[in-house]
Structure 1
Amino acid sequence: MRRIPIRTACLAAAALLAGLAGTPGPAAARELPDDYVVSRAPGVLPEGIAVARDGTMYVSSDGTGALYRGHVSRPELRPFPADGLRDRPSSLGVHTDRQGRVLSVGGATLTVHDRHGRLLATRTARSGPLGAPDLNDLVVTRDAVYVTDWANPVVHRAKIRGGTLGPLEPWLDIRGAFPQFPAQYWLLNGIVANESGTALLVASNGTEAVWRIGTADKEVDRVDLGEESFGPDGMVLHGRTLYAVLNYGAPHGVYIARLDGDLRTGTVTHRLTGEPFDLPTTLARYGCRLYVVNSQLDEPPGRPPYTVSAIDDPTCGTS
């Protein structure tokens, strides 16, 4: 997850368990807001989003590095009092685990907070082949946290062993598999994993494609979406259904693809481009709704209020 491509852009006593990845539960069967106000303060520029199993919503700020918290039942979010983010000017990818902990990335750091905002862990990525890291998005599997790097064609990994989060280290330089592509413009964005953690899908604006990576053998393959191939920003994977946000090279919106069981090929089934999006960057899925971030990153600092739009998931009950 990241800004549009025209911009070049100790674990405490509490342990991180291998059950970090969680699946949101169903939304409450009552009328929910269609729009959520992240902030009315100037320059926030929301970017990432996560919705926890209990409906708690977290949104990150590319403009300030702050995190915001709310609930799907209420239309207003408030600042999340997360320790240790003052020196991080930008926060991008944000996710939650089954225990309600909040993982986020920005700049060179991966942080883990509890639901009260206490800092549990900070991990810092090393510089890559093209310079300082610009961490973009993350996904949590049973045994690792994987993080994309906007500034380098690198996927970083922090292992989870015995309930402890290891150092954040370069895991794969994708150029090794496809040296014919430009070294400077991979622009890695969203990242998701299948339930078993054996396969990752990585979005690349620079190659306008989604790439499948095997976590055991590091085999890299382009996901074949036929003539509808795209390079999205943020993504969500639910079973074999891939939800992807596009914000350049095609009408802005949410594109949905049905993938094969091995996540190597797929067909685009829905294009939700007529919604009131304002440069959408990523999304979260909760119940039968999709929550899409309106970043306004095309015209920073944008114009408050900064919002999240909720739309119906047309595949609900079929994925």
Structure 2
Amino acid sequence: MRRIPVRTACLAATLLLTTLAGAPGPASARDLPDTYVVSRAPGVLPEGIAVTPDGTLYVSSDGRGTLYRGRIGDPELKPFPARGLENRPSSLGVHTDRRGRVFSVGGASLTVHDRHGRLLAARTARGGPLGAPRLNDLVVTEDAVYVTDWANPVIHRAEIRGSSLGPLEPWLDIRAAFPQFPAQYWLLNGIVADASGSTLLVASNGTEAVWRVDTADKEVGRLDLGDQSFGPDGMVLRGRTLYAVLNYGAPHGVYIARLDEELRTGTVTHRLTDGPFDLPTTLARHGCRLYVVNSQLDEPPGRPPYTVSAVDDPTCHDTP
């Protein structure tokens, strides 16, 4: 290997350090908006959010059923031309997969679109023990889509085989985990999965708890967070770090818990309740920032503009 003279090497190192010190880091928080406008039209009431690895945002509308799309570097989102949503008045959960497909739920329907808005699949959930479904949130694993039902204590599942999606079927009636609790008040909300898809965490507003589900045997147990009452809306799971939005029974905001290796117990380590939130419903994580939806659902139809707030992730440099 050819040696570089010491003086030349030192000069090169000095120039490099000077250049790096003067150059802004890629997509640093100071370069990005703190607030994103989903829409300025009345009655939108944003609810769900997904951010892809390349920085594309998708936000759903509880008020209109529309999906909106934008970029993390642009403060304004635009309607996403998702075909087949004309008859769905409400869209709640929205997520993407590694192929860039956009999965969303609302009412009784689960839809899948490509990044251009072309409808790839549409599935309808059957009624549950309490009547018609109201699909709330979803998580996409390697082999399935799991969907929570706000109106029934039921988790639905659709199998994924390559590019095809199977029927959306009732998969787990969660009442057996807490049989003395009234069925109509389970109010299933956010749902996340570990990287292997073997464990689900399911939020229940009614029981004010998160429930751990083993996908192999459907064993259900309550996530133990000590004495903390913890009934989230939307959630994100990053390794052993659980991010959850609380808007009922606790000060509104983002709560972060550190979980054990089996995702059975944990401790709440951060409470972000002083942010610019307006009835937050869920969140997404990208880089070192958390993107939190301001739904205004407590005072429908709310007041435009409808927004997403970005806040720093205090656990950014922790081990996942």
Partner of 2:299 in structure 1?
299
1:68 is the counterpart of 2:75: no
For 1:279-294, list aligned pairs within 5 A.
Answer: 279-294=279-294
- Once superposed, what is the RMSD of the aligned Cα atoms? 1.1
Distance 1:73 1:98 in 2: 21
Partner of 1:264 in structure 2?
264
Distance 1:152 1:300 in 2: 24
Distance 1:50 1:32 in 2: 17
Unmatched tracts of structure 1, length 5 or more: 1-25
Q: Can you list the C-alpha shifts for 1:183-219, whole angstroms capped at 9, x where unaligned?
A: 1100000000000011000000000000000000100
1:43 is the counterpart of 2:70: no
Task: Give 1:161 shift.
Answer: 2.4
Amino acid at match of 1:281: T
Task: Give 1:276 shift.
Answer: 1.0
Unmatched tracts of structure 2, length 5 or more: 1-24
Task: Give 1:28 shift.
Answer: 2.1
Distance 1:73 1:178 in 2: 45
Partner of 1:215 in structure 2?
215
Partner of 2:193 in structure 1?
193
Distance 2:27 2:170 in 1: 40
Partner of 1:57 in structure 2?
57
Partner of 1:28 in structure 2?
27
Partner of 1:95 in structure 2?
95
Q: Is the 8 A contact 1:213 1:220 kept in 2?
A: yes
Q: Can you list the C-alpha shifts for 1:99-134, whole angstroms capped at 9, x where unaligned?
A: 211100000000000001000000100000000000
Task: Give 1:229 shift.
Answer: 3.1
Partner of 2:174 in structure 1?
174
Q: Is the 8 A contact 1:189 1:204 kept in 2?
A: yes
Distance 2:80 2:218 in 1: 36
TM-score (normalizing by structure 2): 0.90
Task: Give 1:27 shift.
Answer: 7.1
* Runs of 4+ displaced beyond 6 Å: none
Q: Is the 8 A contact 1:135 1:149 kept in 2?
A: yes
- Count of equivalent residues: 294
Task: Give 1:248 shift.
Answer: 1.3
Amino acid at match of 2:296: Q
Q: Is the 8 A contact 1:245 1:280 kept in 2?
A: yes
Distance 2:143 2:183 in 1: 29
Distance 1:84 1:236 in 2: 28
TM-score (normalizing by structure 1): 0.91
Identity %: 83
For 1:106-117, list aligned pairs within 5 A.
Answer: 106-117=106-117
Quick one: higher RCO (CA 8 Å, sep 6+), 1 or 2? 1
SS in 2 for 1:175: helix
Partner of 1:10 in structure 2?
none
Task: Give 1:240 shift.
Answer: 0.2
Structure (1/2) with the larger helix percentage: 2
